């Protein structure tokens, strides 16, 4: 596949590598169907180039380093990488969980993250359990002032609400989609109920049907080991991988008649409407139809 012509996705920022893994030795990768090369200069500056005919092209792409990752773009974004205010709070645990590759559209991965209905069946005895399968009503909206999708007033029964907890309870959740290939979850911190843990999922779309993703957590947790926090999140994410890779079609349908939503899919409906308004085709069945 060659580089997409979809300006709606070209003009976005993407996390393409973990900062700690970038050295002076070039790394070859892909982004939106385009070959890229990454390395770190001797002065510590990260550099990303498109690779054309086997050679890095000039000039280099725009680059940012935020949230433990190197971000780049193949286009001209009209705003900078979105803000995670919790990343600036010095007492939080920063937990990058590692990249997982998935044979699916990155947009499918975002939608799966938004879906609470699968908790009791895919994440049994961790994020959900029977008979607590109902998704209570919640509010989904496109916030035009910041151009983001939010789902608020979400509640769900979870047998283990965090790595620090062994007992279950109803949790308050808020979801945020600040960019087409990024999704976030805010949840009340069990050890500090006045604060919210922040969990982000950065998706690196390699091709339309292939992506990799990394959960990154900013937690208020002084008790857990780094290993236990990683294990907790990785178990959940690898369970999700099985589901996402078996969804058909692999690309995300944006036409409402192609997949019939339920009340629990309110956030998905808002997300798909937002993508359609933006003109996103890459990773969707609409893009497939136009090729």
Distances in Å between the Cα of 271 and the Cα atoms of 7, 24, 143 are 18, 39, 11
pLDDT for the residue numbered 256? 64
| Range with the poorest average pLDDT among 25-39, 151-165, 260-274 | 151-165
Element (H, E) at 137: none
Cβ–Cβ < 8 Å for 50, 35: yes
Among candidate residues 291, 270, 269, the one with its CA nearest the CA of residue 282: 291
pLDDT at 281: 96
Q: What per-residue confidence (pLDDT) applies to 223?
A: 78
Lowest pLDDT segment from 48-57, 78-87, 231-240: 231-240
Q: How many CB atoms lie within 10 A of CB 134?
A: 13
More confident residue, 262 or 37: 37
Domains defined along the chain, listed by start? 7-72 (2.20.25.680), 88-290 (3.90.380.10)
Q: Which residue has the higher pLDDT, 161 or 48?
A: 48
- Taking only the tens place, the pLDDT of each residue in 185-223 is 998 887 777 889 999 999 999 999 999 999 999 998 887
Apex 178 CA angle, 38 and 76, nearest 5: 50
- Structural contact between residues 151 and 138, judged by C-beta atoms closer than 8 angstroms: yes
Is the confidence at residue 143, as pLDDT, over 90? Answer: yes
The DSSP call for residue 85 is G
What integer best gives the mean pLDDT of the chain?
85
> What separation in angstroms does the CA of 43 have from each of 39, 239, 255?
12, 40, 48
Q: Are 143 and 287 in contact (CB under 8 A)?
A: no
Tokens representing 228?
């236990």
Report residue 134 as tokens.
Answer: 């109902």
pLDDT cut 70: percent of the chain above it: 82
Confidence of residue 252 (pLDDT cuts 50, 70, 90): very high
Residues 6+ apart with CB under 8 A from 260: none
Sign, CA torsion 257/259/260/264? negative
Query: Is the model more confident about 242 or about 224?
Result: 224
Least confident of 50-54, 88-92, 132-136, 236-240: 132-136
CA-to-CA dists, residue 147 to 142, 185, 258, 275, 278, angstroms: 7, 17, 25, 11, 10
What confidence tens digit (pLDDT) does each residue in 259-287 have? 555 544 788 889 999 999 999 999 998 75
Among 29-33, 200-204, 230-234, 287-291, the least confident range: 287-291
Q: How do residues 109-129 score in pLDDT, each as one tens digit? A: 999 888 865 454 344 444 444
């Amino acid at each position: 596949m060659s580089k997409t012509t979809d300006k709606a996705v070209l003009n976005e920022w993407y996390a393409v590598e973990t900062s700690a893994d970038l050295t002076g030795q070039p790394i070859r990768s892909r982004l939106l169907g385009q070959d890229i090369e990454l390395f770190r200069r001797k002065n510590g500056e990260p550099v990303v180039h498109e690779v054309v005919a086997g050679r890095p092209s000039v000039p280099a792409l725009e680059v940012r380093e935020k949230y433990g990752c190197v971000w780049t773009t193949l286009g001209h974004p009209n705003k900078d990488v979105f803000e995670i205010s919790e990343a600036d709070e010095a007492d939080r645990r920063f937990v990058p969980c590692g990249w997982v590759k998935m044979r699916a559209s990155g947009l499918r991965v975002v939608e799966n993250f938004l879906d609470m209905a699968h908790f009791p069946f895919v994440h049994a005895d961790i994020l959900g359990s029977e008979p607590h399968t109902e998704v209570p009503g919640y509010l989904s909206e496109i916030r035009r002032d910041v151009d983001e999708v939010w789902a608020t007033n979400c509640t769900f029964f979870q047998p283990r609400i965090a790595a620090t907890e062994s007992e279950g309870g109803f949790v308050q959740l808020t979801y945020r989609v600040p960019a087409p290939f990024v999704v976030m979850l805010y949840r009340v911190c069990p050890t500090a109920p006045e604060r919210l843990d922040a969990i982000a999922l950065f998706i690196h779309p390699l091709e339309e049907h292939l992506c990799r993703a990394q959960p990154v957590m900013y937690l208020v947790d002084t008790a857990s080991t780094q290993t236990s926090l990683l294990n907790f999140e990785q178990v959940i994410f690898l369970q999700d991988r099985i589901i996402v890779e078996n969804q058909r079609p692999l690309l995300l349908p944006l036409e409402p008649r192609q997949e019939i939503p339920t009340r629990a899919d309110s956030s998905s409906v808002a997300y798909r409407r937002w993508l359609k308004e933006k003109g996103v085709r890459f990773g969707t069945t609409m893009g497939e139809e136009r090729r």
